[in-house]
A and B are shown apart, each in its own frame.
Chain A
Amino acid sequence: MTATPRQVVVTGLGATTPLGGDVASTWEGLLAGRSGVRRLTDEWVEQLPVHIAAPVAVEPPLERLEARTLDRVQQLALVAAREAWADAGTPEVDPERLAAVVGSGIGGVLTLLNQYDILRERGPRRVSPHVVPMLMPNGPAATVGLAFTARAGVHAPVSACASGAEAIGYALDMIRAGRADVAITGGSEAAIHPLPLAGFAQMQALSRRNDAPQAASRPFDKGRDGFILGEGAGALVLESAEHAAARGARVYATLAGSGTSADAYHVTAPEPSGAGAARAVRAALRSGGLTAADLVHINAHGTSTPIGDVAEAHALRAALGDALDRVAVTSTKSMTGHLLGAAGAVEAVIAVLTLRDKVVPATRNLDALDDEIDLDVVSIDNRSIPGGAVLSNSFGFGGHDVCLAFTP
């Protein structure tokens, strides 16, 4: 006989995104169908083939002294984590029962590149002594762990664009296993710089719709030509149901399960049939004791790349069969751009709000659904949905597949 795993609930949400500096403004932007994609004005932009990106709407509101030893990726993580913690009612928790699990795809790449410029131009004596803790990929997790005195464990899953979702799944596992009662978890990314932009552009992964930034991110649309590099952070406070009930916490949703798998097919290309991603979706359902019939909505990974969106559609069909026909799918990356390691966390926040308000934000820029994509994608108008389970998909370079399942 196996013991029933501890139920884990969501009690706090935080975000800073290209649509707004907090959860409320981000959600309002999504429901209004706004785009956070802009033409960059930096002088280095002209030398690149891609001139558009999705920077955060609000610069991180931190004190100068606090900000000066934190990379931007850590600053954004801290902003989202503080909002989530306050939103959860600043829970009283034994530090040894509090975990921080925050992923990032790339870590402090702005610090790495800026300090390399300083090394070359001014020599090693001018390199900041803070450079290592600022560029390490576990930096955002460490920052959040320190800020909230999380001593049950500080972890930083790194799986490219699945990092944020993987972090949330890891936090779920910690609480289920009894290694923590409360976790602050999510993902952060800040990589708008000519090197990552040039690298992604060389991969032919980015949209080149430079003259129409707000129309550039078009998941599932026939005319899609790549993703938009975005930055931001998302955070959730997860809590064992007992802990939340004992302190009378407001509960948004239950994080019913998570599933992970790996393609082991190609370092960047998704397995075309979506078999790997389908296994993650099935695993998430199994982990949550759910079936395909329980689903009402999926917040897709849907990055707007020609290959990825088709593979995801195949994966969902393989995992869910005919039940998929009754599921409203959306890709909020059509509005936020692709926040890489933060994407899974921001989209988990959005999935929880979708579940709370029973409304799915329409996918922007979907003029003509790709013939190969057999999904009920919500477009033009937001759609009301009944109560039920929702999924959030995240996939990352390296063949990482992660799926989170939330229930009311």
Chain B
Amino acid sequence: MSQSDILEGLAAILEEVAGVDPADVTADKTFIDDLDVDSLSMVEVVVAAEEKFDVKIPDEDVKSLKTVGDAVSYIQRAGVAA
């Protein structure tokens, strides 16, 4: 799956879960500070992403996903590994 497909999918999840405008979802944005996603909603984003992209994102790895770009790269790698 391409980076832009993953970005688009994440934007849809962020809109559904946290009401984030898809236009604001760019690789450099941090989930918590820039997009105002709280820690509980972040868990929802991760679980929805696991389902949507058919990958596993263990809880201990979630802490390293600060920006949207971090998440896109992680999901791409995890998808290839799977």
Identify the A interface with B (CB < 8 A).
Answer: 65, 69, 125-126, 128-130, 133
Q: Tell me how many residue pairs across A and B have CB atoms closer than 8 Å.
A: 15
Is B44 a contact of A128 with CB atoms below 8 Å?
A: yes
**A129 to B50 alpha-carbon distance, docked (Å):** 15
Q: Is the CB of B18 within 8 A of A65?
A: yes
Given the complex, which residues of B lie within 8 Å of A126, measured CB to CB?
A: 47
Instruction: Contacts A65-B19, A129-B41, A130-B40 known; list 11 others, CB within 8 Å.
Output: A65-B18, A69-B41, A125-B47, A125-B50, A126-B47, A128-B44, A129-B40, A129-B43, A129-B44, A130-B44, A133-B40
Give every chain B residue within 8 A of A65 (Cβ-Cβ).
Answer: 18-19
Identity of the chain B residue whose Cβ is nearest the Cβ of A65 in the assembled complex? B19
Q: Which of B42-82 contact A (CB under 8 A)?
A: 43-44, 47, 50
Question: Which residues on the B side are within 8 Å of A133 (C-beta)?
Answer: 40
Give the Cβ gap from A48 to chain B, nearest Cβ, in Å. Answer: 33
Q: Which of under 10, 10 to 19, 20 to 34, or 35 or more describes the interface residues of B? A: under 10
- Which A residues lie within 8 Å of B41 (CB)? 69, 129
Minimum distance in angstroms from A73 CB to a CB of chain B: 19
The 5 nearest A-B residue pairs measured at CB = A129-B43, A65-B19, A129-B40, A130-B40, A129-B44
In the complex, the chain B residue whose C-beta lies closest to that of A130 is: B40
In the assembled complex, how far is the CB of residue B45 from the closest CB belonging to chain A, in whole angstroms? Answer: 10
Q: How far is the CA of A69 from the CA of B39 in the complex (A)?
A: 13
**A65→B19 CA distance, assembly (Å):** 6
Closest chain B CB from A69 CB (angstroms): 8
- How far apart are the CA atoms of A222 and B47 in the complex, in Å? 56
Residue numbers in B under 8 Å from A129 (CB-CB):
40-41, 43-44
CA of A197 to CA of B37, assembled, Å? 37
User: Bound state CA distance, A133 and B43, in angstroms?
Assistant: 14
> Who on chain A is nearest to B20 by CB?
A65
Report A-chain residues with C-beta under 8 Å of the C-beta of B43: 129
Instruction: Quote the shortest CB–CB distance from B54 to chain A (angstroms).
Output: 13
Bound together, the chains give a CA A130 to CA B44 distance in angstroms of 9
B82–chain A nearest beta-carbon distance, Å: 16
Q: With the chains together, A128 CA to B46 CA distance in Å?
A: 11
- Closest chain A residue, CB of each to CB of B44: A129
